Structure 1
Amino acid sequence: MQPNLHFFPIPISDGLSWAFGGVVICLGWFLWRLLRTVSQRIASYFLVLGLAWLGMLWGLAQTPFFVQLDAKPPRFLVIIVPPVAFVASLFLTRQGRYFLDQLPLKSLTWLHTVRVAVEVSLWYLFLEHQIPQMMTFKGYNWDILAGITAPLLVWYLQRGTPPRWVVLGWNLLALGLLINIVGMAILSAPLPFQQLNFTQPNVGVFKSSFIWLPGFVVPVVLWAHLVVIRRIYATGS
């Protein structure tokens, strides 16, 4: 079955594109401040590399680079492989693990509130026929619950040291919500392995600022979960 690509050449509205771009910039600023609490040098490296990465993705999204959907290997890998490889390198090196273990748990949890803004943005992206309804909170994407409950976990953390199972359980459940929407997004994209939503495929993430969703936002949220989960298993704190 061939996907309906009627809306693929239609650009996302400027207002929505700029609004989501603002969400990503705020996330980047928050992450920079978070990294500064441990090392100003690493935070500076992140700022330079992060801006370069976002700029490169934005530039590619303005060209026909991602339009060739039948390219092999899929060009979408350019978006996700570098950040995933970078995150993996942090966990595979002793210096990386030492740095990650110094990050404040409360800030790592606060970071997930960005998921509320992301899910609202996805809803408006659906209204512009750029993604299927399945990928919104009106469908099978409940990732907004992680963003809503994150402040509750922070409040619990501020009251003292909560049981490990509370922090671990929340992170595992929220990670499951992330995996759920990422899986739907991949299987709904008009790529050779598409399995879902042929009537309205996921074409929005190839365009404008929404290229930053798989290329930056998702890896950051995944990273935040993995840092906490590793710390609980490795250090018991």
Structure 2
Amino acid sequence: MKEFIYCWKDLEPISHIPSYVSLTFIACVLTCVGFLYYATNTLSGEKNNAPVITTTFVAIWLFIITILSLQGFFLDFDFRPPKLFIFLGILMLIIIGLFAFPRTRAIIAQMPITTLTYLHIVRVPVEIVLWWLFIHGAVAESMTFQGVNYDILSGISAPFAGLFLVGMKSKSKLAAIIWNVLTLGLLVNIVSRAIQATPYFHNPLMDAQPNIAVFYFPYVLLPLFVVPVVFFCHIASFYQLIFIKEEEE
């Protein structure tokens, strides 16, 4: 198993991937940043520091992950627990921790739920990027819509959910909750598939190609930024739909 992993490490499996794939994915990352900035910038209050704090944290996080990935930090497959999973766990704890404090909960409660919903559109180009990566032998087929990943449906349906389920002129709280449950389920499905296909758990009988691209820049930002942002949008939407009264929205 170790020889197999280091074979992939030495071959640098993403070096042959066309530049348009990386550029498309970077555009997805920047789109997520833009949505987060807009969601915090529309908050009420004279001293709204949320946009500055959010963009500063995001910029620092992206910088750290970029530098570490370019130095091959996440390619240390002997380290346990896996470094990629450690950083993912840290980011997920930060996201969950935002709901532990009244001040951050108040900020989340004021975020436009339409913006949180429209952000999921980014899942369409992300799925296209994953398909391109599979074609070039950098991720498993199970991570694509050609396999058992149907997360692209979340992105396709996001504009309709934003317009008719949480929009200004048309709202359906129950339908919005159901939509978020279903699309969160699709996210969990692809994340679990991605973890199973990493070199740590890869089973050649299930996937001929292991999931190796996410250990390299810029694709490492998929598990360490894009997926957590999408997860945050789901949790924030649930919070608004379930715990915030209609008259307070």
Return the TM-score normalized by structure 2.
0.88
Conserved 8 A contact 1:91-1:97: yes
Residues 1-237 of structure 1 mapped to structure 2, 5 A cutoff: 5=5, 7-8=8-9, 9-12=12-15, 13=17, 14-38=19-43, 40-156=48-164, 157-158=166-167, 160-191=169-200, 193-195=201-203, 197=206, 199-237=208-246
Conserved 8 A contact 1:7-1:130: no
Q: Which runs of 5+ in 1 are unaligned?
A: none
Worse-matched range after superposition: 193-202 or 214-223? 193-202
Q: Shift of the alpha carbon at 1:194?
A: 4.1
**Identity of paired residues, percent?**
31
- After superposition, the CA RMSD in angstroms is 2.0
Conserved 8 A contact 1:113-1:147: yes
Q: Shift of the alpha carbon at 1:161?
A: 4.4
> What is the CA–CA distance in structure 2 between the aligned matches of 1:65 and 1:153, rounded to whole Å?
39
Conserved 8 A contact 2:139-2:209: yes
> What is the CA–CA distance in structure 1 between the aligned matches of 2:220 and 2:81, rounded to whole Å?
18
Task: Give the total of aligned pairs.
Answer: 236
Q: Shift of the alpha carbon at 1:212?
A: 0.6
TM-superposition CA deviations, 1:48-80 (whole Å, max 9, x none): 111111111111111232222121121112430
**Which secondary structure does the structure 1 equivalent of 2:83 belong to?**
coil
Worse-matched range after superposition: 3-12 or 104-113? 3-12
Q: Shift of the alpha carbon at 1:4?
A: 5.0
Conserved 8 A contact 1:123-1:136: yes
Conserved 8 A contact 1:7-1:129: no
**Which secondary structure does the structure 2 equivalent of 1:190 belong to?**
coil
Conserved 8 A contact 1:114-1:147: yes
TM-superposition CA deviations, 1:180-220 (whole Å, max 9, x none): 000000111111x4457453110010111111101110011
